[in-house]
A and B are shown apart, each in its own frame.
Chain A
């Protein structure tokens, strides 16, 4: 089946640091990937849609200059949390689909803790 891999799985860093999270589709090509954020005891919230070779589409309320998304190849999208602060601490999850009408497959998530 389709496999989506995220790295790192857990990161702890100081306030003001920028953190990059990678999302890879291991056995299929993904022209579109999706980034979600999840706070404790809440559901997943879609942050942005990452499009290969073009700019990401951000959901309302998500700061595009804060959360930089790059989708440089058909198997890799990256999310960079710039100048991270404690309120950015969350569980970040990416997903990708193998095609129209097909289900999205999710990575195992990245737990980000900003001290």
Chain B
């Protein structure tokens, strides 16, 4: 699995968009970018994933650069409940690939 680099912490004002960056410069052509978040004392929650194209779902948007060396997770209107540790992972996943977690970004949404 490719190594990912994320800032250790970020703050965001409630109601504003939260943009969380991730570098994955060694990602291989068939590795996906996955985003998860973990709220204290719970299992990680899947947010979104993508291979090459930008993706959007009800929770967030994922912007992947054309060279696939970095991506940004966008929470369009952050709420206090979005305060969590966000993990960006590059890997194959599925039923054969294992996911290796880095240290993630602690997002603090402030009122």
* CA gap between A60 and B30 in the complex, in Å: 25
Q: Which of B51, B93, B104 contacts A104 (CB 8 A)?
A: B93
How many A-B pairs have beta carbons closer than 8 Å: the answer is 68
Residues of B within 8 A of A45 (CB): 101
Q: How far is the CA of A95 from the CA of B97 in the complex (A)?
A: 12
- A103 B103 Cβ-Cβ under 8 A: no
Complex interface bits, B25-43 against A, C-beta within 8 A gives 1, otherwise 0: 0000000101010100111
Q: Closest approach, in angstroms, between the C-beta of B67 and any C-beta of chain A? A: 21
Contact of B43 (CB < 8 Å), options: A32, A101, A109? A109
Chain B residue nearest to A45 in the complex (CB): B101
**CB within 8 Å of A: which residues of B?**
32, 34, 36, 38, 41-46, 49, 51, 87, 92-96, 98-104
Residues of A within 8 A of B38 (CB): 44
CB atoms of A97 and B95 under 8 A apart? yes
A49 within 8 A of B: yes
| Nearest-Cβ distance from residue A99 to partner chain B, whole angstroms | 6
Interface residues of A in 60-115 (CB under 8 A from B): 91, 93, 95-109, 111
On whether the beta carbons of A103 and B42 are closer than 8 Å, the reply is no
The binding surface of chain B is classed by DSSP as: loop
Q: A32-43: contact bitstring with B at CB < 8 Å (1 yes, 0 no)?
A: 101010000001
- A residues less than 8 Å from B104 (CB atoms): 43
Q: Are B101's CB and A44's CB within 8 A?
A: yes
Q: Are A109 and B46 in contact (CB under 8 A)?
A: no
| B-side contacts of A4, CB under 8 Å | 43
Q: List 15 A-B contacts (CB under 8 A).
A: A43-B101, A46-B100, A93-B43, A93-B44, A95-B99, A96-B95, A97-B94, A98-B95, A99-B94, A100-B94, A102-B94, A102-B95, A104-B99, A106-B45, A111-B41
